[in-house]
Chain A
Amino acid sequence: MKQRRMISNVLCHVLLAVLGFIWVLPIFYVILTAFREETGSYKSYIFPKGYTLDNFINLINTSNSMIDFKRWFLNTLIIAIFSTIIAAFFTICVAYCMSRLRFRLRKPFMNLAMILGMFPGFMSMIAVYYILKGLGFLETGLLKQVALVLVYSGGAGLGFYIAKGFLDTIPKAIDEAAYIDGATKWQTLIHITLPLSKPIITYTLLTAFMGPWVDYIFAKVIMGSDNQYYTIAIGLWTMLQKEYIETYYTQFYAGCVLISIPISILFVLTQKYYVEGVSGAVKG
């Protein structure tokens, strides 16, 4: 019996090791290539002949009209900051109304949100593109960035589910106690509900902030071939295109490593607040 358990334990660890190896390998390759000395794209060997930091330095110093990592980074940062503010505000407002208030249009609104969620987001994207074009938003690169902020944050009110789920866990009795003490609903929201909702507000902010960093399609459609105004995701994608891949292959990986670090930190933070968020506001 003991022997059998030993064998199954060993087997499990071997299996885990093999799987772990498969999962780490691609990441390992990305990091290796980011430090690879030889330029050019595909090589007939895995381990680089030499290691260097030049890929990172060149990536940051390159700033021509086609490839400009620093600029892309700033573009994404600015777009992310603005769209986060608007999107998080919208989401929390709607989530609060859906969770804490009862009014006639509440149920219809929730059904509408569910139906709208079933249309491919990309479908309305094309129309948004033409609406923005018709309104003259796509004339200059700067306006395109404004347009992108609007696109990322405009419909944010529909993504209220997780925040609503969180607010549902705050006991109604707390609100009622505040009403009895003479607080208005506004005061209750500002002084009671929002302070209790810190984890979910942080979660909403972080997810909204990460959106522009990892979105490819909306940015591509809006920006077209305006390389200067690209965000990180489409910028990196551009570096793998036929014209650039030979020159920028290793720098692409350097960019991947650079961008993964802040996003993974943000991701770990979101997970932390997500867990706090779904486990409820007021611990019993």
Chain B
Amino acid sequence: METKNKKPGAAAPVLRAVLPNTAHPSQVIRESDAISKLSFFIFGLGNLLNRQIGRGLILLAIEVGYIAYMAAFGVAAMGNFFTLGTTLQEEVWSDELGIFVYTDGDNSMLCMLYGVITIVLTVVVIAVAYMSMKSAYCTQKRKERGMHIPTFRDDLRSLLEENIHGLLMAFPSVGILAFTIVPLVFMILIAFTSYDRDHQPPGNLFDWVGLSNFAQLFSGGSKLAATFWPVLGWTLIWAVCATFSNFILGMLLALLINRKGTRIKGFWRFVFVLSIAVPQFVTLLSMSTIFNANGPVNVMLRAIGLIGATESVPFFTDATTAKITIIGINMWIGIPYTMLSTTGILQNIPVELYEAARIDGARPPTIFRKITLPYMMFVMTPTLITSFTGNINNFNVIYLLTGGGPDSLDYYFAGKTDLLITWLYRLTITQKDYNLGSVIGIMTFIVLAITSLLTYHQTGAYKDEGAFQ
């Protein structure tokens, strides 16, 4: 086979491999000279020695700032992080004021928080240390090869060119670090402490307890375990029911509207889409009143004589009925969504497939099973996975409809319709058992990770990307 004409861009990768700033970390460490290696400890050294004053000073300033922070605050914070505080807040009689005053004890929560922040800062500074070494290494290599050593102005210009990702990612990354990663690390660590309602700072201290919270969750006899497994079970049942009922029924509705014989298609679509336009919390809050013991549904049932004049169907107060009601209401919310999103996809199924099937004598159910469903599954699986994980964490539907109720005395502060996520809410916000809440959060993560990994690798979209192309 003849080689094609080289594109003008094809030379670029070769050139880039020569440039030292694309070097692999191991190569950087191996080939650095003494000054570059020393730059790992004295930030910006290699740059300063090569008259890259701007870059060198910024790196050095970061190190000085970090050392100042550690000296003033960080070292003490790390010490406290391991002990989580030692002095308890005390009530002391003050002769001067004539009342009891509280002395400042240690606040375990803040000790932990500052510890986590210090650790994250340290990790960031270690990354900067590597950057400093690499920067020195690049300068060293450029010097060896007699290449132009970039000035500070070149550095700034490179932020709009080859280092533009640094410029663009900087702020979002800080946001993610501060509002997602630090809080998550903090909450995960809480799972290994005794931070429950009896150990509330600032009045009390909590301490590291290792894996005992997890042990409590998995030990057979504990009330916590007796709550966890049923709640997990219902969470999974809910997620499966909610996801697939919406998917299948929504698709059938779309087929019903799109079939040849149906008139005024636009009108039917509008009727169902109307419910999407109402904000979800409004729907949920109104549904919770509509299905109330004295709400309009019961009033209607009384009027047509299905139940007695004073009776009411326990839509939210009986465990099993409540579960069915919730899934039903969720269908009311979700089916129009699926209808809307599948309509477009259904219209994209090649007409030839249908025609061929009809010529071969296939009846509509067979066509649905052999053509429509596989095609839909192929396109929709990623959406299905997202909606499945979304349903596992579907706080709003449960909380705004039943609040997790009806409550059960066999459970540890959970109701019969509580999902892991609403139980987590109760444990933390209402009961202040932060450690248990955190354990539940980690378990939810594990459930989600396992299901997404298992399903994702089974999907057609993953195995065979071009199946329908």
Which residues does A use to contact B, with CB under 8 Å? 5, 8-9, 12-13, 15-16, 19-20, 22-24, 26-27, 29-30, 41-46, 86, 89-91, 93-94, 96-97, 101, 103, 106, 109, 115-116, 118-128, 130-131, 134, 150-151, 153-158, 176, 180, 184-187, 189, 213-214, 216-217, 221, 233, 236-237, 240, 249, 252-253, 256, 259-260, 263-264, 267-268, 271, 275
Chain B contacts of A101 at CB under 8 A?
164-165
Chain A contacts of B168 at CB under 8 A?
93-94, 96-97
Which residues does B use to contact A, with CB under 8 Å? 8-9, 109-110, 113, 160-162, 164-165, 168-169, 171-173, 175-176, 178-184, 186-187, 190, 253, 256-257, 259, 261-263, 268, 271-272, 274-283, 285-290, 292, 294-296, 299-300, 302-303, 332, 336, 340, 344, 389, 393, 395-396, 399-400, 420-421, 424-425, 428-429, 434, 437-438, 441, 444-445, 448-449, 452
**Docked-complex contact B277 and A154, CB < 8 angstroms:** no
**Docked-complex contact A154 and B184, CB < 8 angstroms:** no
**Docked-complex contact B299 and A46, CB < 8 angstroms:** yes
Given contacts A20-B272, A127-B184, A259-B279, contact A154 B289 (CB under 8 A): no
* Residue from A5, A155, A217 in contact with B395 in the complex, judged by beta carbons closer than 8 Å: A217
The 9 closest A-B pairs by CB, nearest first: A154-B179, A157-B172, A264-B277, A127-B183, A186-B160, A124-B183, A123-B441, A42-B294, A90-B172
Given contacts A157-B175, A217-B425, contact A127 B256 (CB under 8 A): no
**Docked-complex contact B180 and A29, CB < 8 angstroms:** no
* Residue from A16, A127, A233 in contact with B281 in the complex, judged by beta carbons closer than 8 Å: A233
Chain B contacts of A46 at CB under 8 A?
296, 299-300, 303
**Docked-complex contact A20 and B268, CB < 8 angstroms:** yes
Chain B contacts of A89 at CB under 8 A?
171
Chain B contacts of A96 at CB under 8 A?
168
CA distance A165 to B354 in the complex (A): 30
**Docked-complex contact B393 and A121, CB < 8 angstroms:** yes
Do most interface residues of chain A lie in helix, strand or loop, or is the interface mixed? helix
CA distance A216 to B400 in the complex (A): 9
**Docked-complex contact B262 and A127, CB < 8 angstroms:** no
**Docked-complex contact A122 and B421, CB < 8 angstroms:** yes
Chain A contacts of B294 at CB under 8 A?
41-42, 44
User: How far is the CB of A38 from the nearest CB of chain B, in Å?
Assistant: 14
Known: A119-B444, A123-B424. 20 other contacts (CB 8 A): A9-B261, A9-B262, A42-B295, A94-B168, A94-B172, A97-B168, A118-B448, A120-B393, A122-B425, A125-B183, A126-B437, A131-B113, A156-B175, A176-B9, A184-B160, A237-B400, A252-B285, A256-B278, A260-B279, A267-B277
**Docked-complex contact A127 and B186, CB < 8 angstroms:** yes
* Residue from A13, A27, A217 in contact with B262 in the complex, judged by beta carbons closer than 8 Å: A13
* Residue from A8, A134, A157 in contact with B176 in the complex, judged by beta carbons closer than 8 Å: A157
**Docked-complex contact B389 and A23, CB < 8 angstroms:** no
Chain B contacts of A120 at CB under 8 A?
393, 420-421, 424, 441, 444-445
Given contacts A186-B161, A236-B285, A263-B277, contact A94 B179 (CB under 8 A): no
CA distance A54 to B123 in the complex (A): 60
Chain A contacts of B444 at CB under 8 A?
119-120, 123
CA distance A155 to B434 in the complex (A): 22
**Docked-complex contact B172 and A93, CB < 8 angstroms:** yes
**Docked-complex contact B332 and A124, CB < 8 angstroms:** no
User: How far is the CB of B79 from the nearest CB of chain A, in Å?
Assistant: 18
**Docked-complex contact B186 and A221, CB < 8 angstroms:** no
User: How far is the CB of B193 from the nearest CB of chain A, in Å?
Assistant: 13
**Docked-complex contact B183 and A128, CB < 8 angstroms:** yes
CA distance A71 to B33 in the complex (A): 64
CA distance A279 to B116 in the complex (A): 44
**Docked-complex contact B299 and A131, CB < 8 angstroms:** no
Given contacts A134-B110, A214-B280, contact A123 B184 (CB under 8 A): yes
Chain B contacts of A189 at CB under 8 A?
164
**Docked-complex contact A90 and B400, CB < 8 angstroms:** no
**Docked-complex contact B172 and A128, CB < 8 angstroms:** no
User: How far is the CB of B338 from the nearest CB of chain A, in Å?
Assistant: 13
CA distance A134 to B110 in the complex (A): 7
User: How far is the CB of A235 from the nearest CB of chain B, in Å?
Assistant: 11
Chain A contacts of B9 at CB under 8 A?
176
**Docked-complex contact A118 and B449, CB < 8 angstroms:** yes
Chain A contacts of B181 at CB under 8 A?
116
**Docked-complex contact B263 and A236, CB < 8 angstroms:** no
**Docked-complex contact B299 and A185, CB < 8 angstroms:** no
**Docked-complex contact A23 and B283, CB < 8 angstroms:** no
Q: Can you report 14 A-B residue pairs in the complex whose CB atoms are below 8 A from each other?
A: A16-B256, A20-B268, A26-B275, A91-B172, A122-B393, A122-B424, A122-B425, A123-B441, A123-B444, A151-B179, A154-B180, A236-B282, A259-B282, A271-B340
CA distance A13 to B256 in the complex (A): 9
CA distance A154 to B182 in the complex (A): 12
**Docked-complex contact A214 and B281, CB < 8 angstroms:** yes
* Residue from A128, A186, A256 in contact with B286 in the complex, judged by beta carbons closer than 8 Å: A256
**Docked-complex contact B256 and A29, CB < 8 angstroms:** no
**Docked-complex contact A221 and B179, CB < 8 angstroms:** no
User: How far is the CB of B106 from the nearest CB of chain A, in Å?
Assistant: 14
